[in-house]
Structure 1
């Protein structure tokens, strides 16, 4: 009897042990904590759109070692890059989106903390430096950078606009510590200061250099494109995280590539999404993400953007804003973005070589003539219409605007392009050179408009002063 009981206990123990061995272990959880800048709308493909369209979940790895993984996706929104740096160094964030100037500061700060963050992809940028700008109150007598000597200028310290401002002052031979007074202001503070003229100027980053003029509270006198120094926003990751979860990094970048494709395909629609989330007007979002936009969306780490990082690093050292020099070759790591492009079936080398902006295609919406010259192109977004209308010249767009007004139609926005740089401008903010031959040319700078007009014996006007007759309809070709 005792023997039988002993065997029963043995059997029970075996059942318990084997049962425990066969019980599935708890699922492994991987955190994906991302620091975004939603209001900095050229970061949209790295944050806002990924979240709103649930793209990240589609591309995170689920096979092999990741078969039973659960992802804890954390989104944290910031108004500028420096706070993201602090969170990454503290280990609270795994990824961060920021511009070149704060990204370099991120790299310096991480190495000073005995850690390493790496720059793994671009999100959006401009080879010429467009995207940052210097604004003055609407009624200000200031029209050039030289007029700012002795003035009070605000900027978000540590931002890419800060870097642009320091370079612009240096180019004019002005000392930022003696010739002007710099004060730190975030965009929300600067908006009120410009409205009430409590500052003389504000150096703003994306999208505020366009948003404040669109809202009628400021006028842009200087654009970063004048520096001809490339600027970009991109993505950083903690190096230790990337080494532990390389497939997660690649999955995130695949989601970015898909968001980039969707935004290029339908910029009007996703500009509306950006407005719904951030409050940044869709018209301003379109200025960046639509055809011939202020910046290009470039996930690939193009040489010009890496060069921009080098310039930012050198600027920090020269202006004594950083104690350590950052080795950009060690800071930039393109392994993950190359793998993401390969997985997406897209040639990375072809994307590296692609430098042209997405063109404005089709025919002039008023005349039917083909749109040939990007610097003469214009666009109108009509209230109640899904698509933005293209035009071959400012004169044609102006004639169409007058026609729309006669029909009682409202214009959401009219865009023209600087004849000198090709930069997309708000039509109401541009200066126009109107020569006798009618070849109306738009400019950001009044000085450039005056030079162009003087050489062609024309006049300089603003939009409200222009009177354009409807452009003639195209004639059919002779048979």
Structure 2
């Protein structure tokens, strides 16, 4: 009798298992494109997706086959999606448009479901030159060789920057395609005059000491973003899974906001991109905003990307951003997390700095002249109300034998976060130091407000701080 029951029970269990559906969730990431961390690295490494995948209703007996595949650019992610090997993929606006076009050619459809990180002004893309180059701005690059990954969001930025100079891109500059892993050594050996690229290379190369950033994408005033796409058929069949992924991204954003230093270290461990650079993007007042909402500027950026690629004859057919972008799923994710999507849609502020001045202990009320120091061995970055305070503190820290990992400052005009040791400073008559990415902007400030322009080394000299 017992044997009969055991056989019957085993048969029932086998029958249940046989009818349980296994759903693939295959996600393509760009780990080294660190501004996408909330949609890739953190979800994967912290197993956040497991918290949100549905296990009720039609998913009651579902087993999930979650697959993560990492790539260095968007093009191979698109190839894998078109081939049916990936369901989700994260990439920038230009590659995202190429994804939509490639799917159309294959008789399929993909949809852009969310932004992960971006800048309505264009920060994130940039142009760098060798560290000892005399060039101080893009105006100095006429007749020079500038490399860039073709059909990337940085390529679009470069073309707009060249046009803004009134130059002919075919005659006035020599634009050559080059991947960042090749551009790094080329900059070090001065085989190229400049390199334009996307996150994080315009900050990474200067941080590593062999390049200087002379142009930030915000100067082109052209929005840029990285976001997530999904195959449309998959999304329509499994909308709850798409929403689960986006809820995990919201969770990752919460963690980054609460502890940017901790998670910058984790991103660095996985990607090899130094935490000091990761913090530039994920720390308070970062270069970009981690924003999942489809702001009008981002919608326009997607359409502009298609129009530009079509002009370059790298995209054909027709693509309408209003149908290619589908915010249904991200709105559902916000609702599930009890968040107000429409309020977030109207919020353009970077991650705020909530900190007390490391010297005075007083809350920092204004962010326009904030500076920060990351000290080796300290879990939190120190914040200061002004660059002159922070610069003076650098000397004290070094005399005390402490190692400074990074010095950050906010550009006085644009507000973008800078590597302070790469910045130019306008010292005014009252002793204030104001940080700038570009020497000519520092000079303009000094001319207007009375003062002088100093590089980082000069700004650190006792004489530069004497009258404060």
Smaller-chain TM-score range?
A: over 0.9
**Is residue 2:48 matched to residue 1:55?**
yes
**Is residue 2:438 matched to residue 1:452?**
no
Instruction: Give 1:332 deviation, angstroms.
Output: 0.4
- Alpha-carbon distance in structure 2 between the residues aligned to 1:210 and 1:31: 36
What is the count of residue pairs matched by the alignment? Answer: 458
- Alpha-carbon distance in structure 1 between the residues aligned to 2:326 and 2:389: 47
- 1:476 matched to which residue of 2? none
Secondary structure of 2:353 counterpart: coil
- 2:94 matched to which residue of 1? 101
Secondary structure of 1:249 counterpart: helix
Query: Does the Cα contact within 8 Å between 2:300 and 2:321 map onto a contact in 1?
Result: no
Deviations 1:304-363 (A, max 9, x none): 221221222222233443223311111000111111111111111121122111222232
Instruction: Give 1:157 deviation, angstroms.
Output: 1.5
**Is residue 2:95 matched to residue 1:83?**
no
Instruction: Give 1:103 deviation, angstroms.
Output: 0.8
Deviations 1:166-189 (A, max 9, x none): 111122222222222222222111
Consecutive unaligned residues of structure 2, counting only runs of 5 or more, are none
> TM-score of the superposition, structure 2-length normalised?
0.94
- 1:396 matched to which residue of 2? 389
Instruction: Give 1:19 deviation, angstroms.
Output: 6.1
432-441 or 38-47: bigger deviation: 432-441
Instruction: Give 1:89 deviation, angstroms.
Output: 1.0
- 1:208 matched to which residue of 2? 201
CA RMSD of aligned residues (A): 1.9
- Alpha-carbon distance in structure 1 between the residues aligned to 2:314 and 2:172: 18
Secondary structure of 1:374 counterpart: coil
- Alpha-carbon distance in structure 2 between the residues aligned to 1:173 and 1:111: 35
- Alpha-carbon distance in structure 2 between the residues aligned to 1:426 and 1:362: 19
Deviations 1:161-211 (A, max 9, x none): 111111111222222222222222221111111111111111011011101
Secondary structure of 1:109 counterpart: helix
* 2:215 corresponds to which of 215, 218, 222: 222
- 1:248 matched to which residue of 2? 241
- Alpha-carbon distance in structure 2 between the residues aligned to 1:367 and 1:22: 68
- Alpha-carbon distance in structure 1 between the residues aligned to 2:17 and 2:430: 79
Secondary structure of 2:129 counterpart: strand
- 2:16 matched to which residue of 1? 24
- 1:6 matched to which residue of 2? none
> TM-score of the superposition, structure 1-length normalised?
0.92
- Alpha-carbon distance in structure 1 between the residues aligned to 2:204 and 2:446: 28
Secondary structure of 2:368 counterpart: helix
Secondary structure of 1:42 counterpart: helix
- 1:361 matched to which residue of 2? 354
- Alpha-carbon distance in structure 2 between the residues aligned to 1:349 and 1:332: 16
Instruction: Give 1:441 deviation, angstroms.
Output: 0.8
Change (3 A) 1:396 1:318: same
* 1:371 corresponds to which of 361, 364, 376: 364
Change (3 A) 1:86 1:431: same
Query: Does the Cα contact within 8 Å between 2:151 and 2:309 map onto a contact in 1?
Result: no
Secondary structure of 1:125 counterpart: strand
Instruction: Give 1:29 deviation, angstroms.
Output: 1.0
Query: Which of structures 1 and 2 has the bigger CA Rg?
Result: 1
- 1:138 matched to which residue of 2? 131
Change (3 A) 1:347 1:151: same
Change (3 A) 1:108 1:433: same
* 2:328 corresponds to which of 304, 311, 335: 335
